[in-house]
Amino acid sequence: MLVLQLFLQFLGLLIWLVIIPFLIGLLPARFLPKEYRTPGTVFLAGFIIYLAVFEVVGVIVVLNAVHGGMAILLKWFTPLAVALASLGLGAEIVVPAVRPHIRTKTKILSLEAKFIWLLFFLLLAFQLFISLTHAFFDGDDAYYVVQSLIAKEKGFLYRVEPYTGDSTVLNMRNALAVFPLWITMLAEKTRIHPTIIAHSILPLFLLPLAYLLFFRIGKSLFKNKIESLPVFMVLMALIQIFGNVSIFTSETFLMTRTWQGKSFAVGFIIPAFLWLFLLISEKVSCRAYWLLLAALVLMSGIASSLVVFLVLMMVLIFGFYLALHYRSVPILLKTMAAGIPGAAYILLYLFLK
Amino acid sequence: MSLVFTECIDILKNYVGDGYLFFVYLAAVIYLLFAEKEKRLRLFFIYAPMTILLVFLFPVTRWLYVKVLDEETYYRFLWLLPLGVTIAYSGCKIWISLKKPVYRYLSLFILVIVIVLSGKYVYENPNITRAENFHNLPGATINVCDFILDDAEFDFIYAVFPKEHVHFVRQYSSEIKLAYGRDILVDRWGFFDPVHDIMENHDIIDIASLLEITRPKLINYLVIHWTRATCDNPENYGLLLLDQVDGLLIYRDEVVANEIRATIGPYYPKRW
A128 burial level (CB within 10 Å; 0-12, 13-18, 19+)? middle
Rounded distance between C-alpha atoms, residue A178 and residue A157, angstroms: 9
Show residues of chain B in contact with A13, CB under 8 Å: none
- pLDDT value, residue A123: 98
Size of interface A-B (CB pairs under 8 A): 257
Q: What is the pLDDT confidence band of residue A110, given thresholds at 50, 70 and 90?
A: confident
Reported as half-sphere exposure (CB side, CA atoms, 13 A), residue B192 has a value of 4
pLDDT in tens, A35-89: 889 999 999 999 999 999 999 999 999 999 999 999 999 999 999 999 999 999 9
pLDDT > 90 in chain B, percent: 90
- pLDDT value, residue B56: 96
pLDDT > 70 in chain A, percent: 99
Show residues of chain B in contact with A231, CB under 8 Å: 88, 91-92, 95, 108, 111
A173-177, A185-189, A227-231, B161-165: least confident range: A173-177
Q: Could you give phi then psi for residue A95, rounded to 5 degrees?
A: -125, 90
- pLDDT value, residue A173: 79
Cβ contact, residue pair B183, A163, below 8 Å: yes
Residue in chain B nearest A284 by alpha carbon? B40
As a whole number, the mean pLDDT across chain A is 95
| Helix (H) or strand (E) run with residue B128 in it | strand B128-130
**What single letter denotes the amino acid at residue B202?**
H
Q: Which one has a higher pLDDT value, B19 or B252? A: B252
Residue in chain A nearest B128 by alpha carbon? A136
- pLDDT value, residue B238: 94
Cα B237 off chain centre by: 37
pLDDT in tens, A193-205: 999 999 999 999 9
Is pLDDT of B218 > 80?
yes
- pLDDT value, residue A27: 96
Rounded distance between C-alpha atoms, residue A24 and residue A41, angstroms: 12
| 3-state SS, residue B194 | helix
Domain boundaries, chain B: 2-118, 139-267
- pLDDT value, residue A109: 83
Mean pLDDT of B35-64: 95
Cβ contact, residue pair A235, B55, below 8 Å: no
> Which pTM was predicted?
0.95
- pLDDT value, residue B165: 97
> A232 Cβ partners below 8 Å, 6+ apart?
A214, A218, A221, A222, B88, B89, B91, B92
- pLDDT value, residue A231: 96
Which residue from B89, B130, B178 is facing A134, i.e. has the nearest CB?
Answer: B130
Q: What is the largest CA-CA distance in chain B?
A: 85
Rg (alpha carbons) of chain A, rounded to whole number? 20
CB of B25 closer than 8 Å to CB of A254: no
Rounded distance between C-alpha atoms, residue B217 and residue A128, angstroms: 45
pLDDT in tens, B107-126: 999 999 999 999 999 999 99
The DSSP code for A107 is P
- pLDDT value, residue B71: 85
| Letter string b/e over residues B9-29, b meaning 16 or more CB atoms within 10 A of that residue's CB | eebbeebbbebbbbebbbbbb
Interface-testing mutation among A164, A277, A316, A348, with chain B (most B C-beta atoms within 10 A): A164
Interface-testing mutation among B174, B177, B186, B221, with chain A (most A C-beta atoms within 10 A): B174
Residue B55 contacts A, CB cutoff 8 Å: yes
Rounded distance between C-alpha atoms, residue B259 and residue B257, angstroms: 5
β-sheet bridge partners, residue B205: B230
pLDDT in tens, B163-200: 999 999 999 999 999 999 999 999 889 999 999 999 99
E strands, chain A, in order: 134-136
Positive or negative, the Cα torsion across B237, B239, B243, B246? negative
pLDDT in tens, B233-244: 999 999 999 999
Q: What is the pLDDT confidence band of residue A104, given thresholds at 50, 70 and 90?
A: low
β-sheet bridge partners, residue A134: B130
Which residue from A134, A149, A266 is facing B129, i.e. has the nearest CB?
Answer: A134
The answer to whether the complex's ipTM is over 0.90 is yes
In terms of Cα–Cα distance, which of B114, B120, B86 is closest to B18? Answer: B120
Which residue from A196, A236, A245 is facing B84, i.e. has the nearest CB?
Answer: A236
Q: What is the pLDDT confidence band of residue A106, given thresholds at 50, 70 and 90?
A: low
Interface-testing mutation among B122, B123, B146, B177, with chain A (most A C-beta atoms within 10 A): B122
- pLDDT value, residue A246: 96
A101-115, A136-150, B79-93, B247-261: least confident range: A101-115
The number of beta carbons lying within 10 Å of the beta carbon of residue B66 is 15
Is pLDDT of A124 > 70?
yes
pLDDT in tens, A313-339: 999 999 999 999 999 999 999 999 999
Cβ contact, residue pair B21, A235, below 8 Å: no
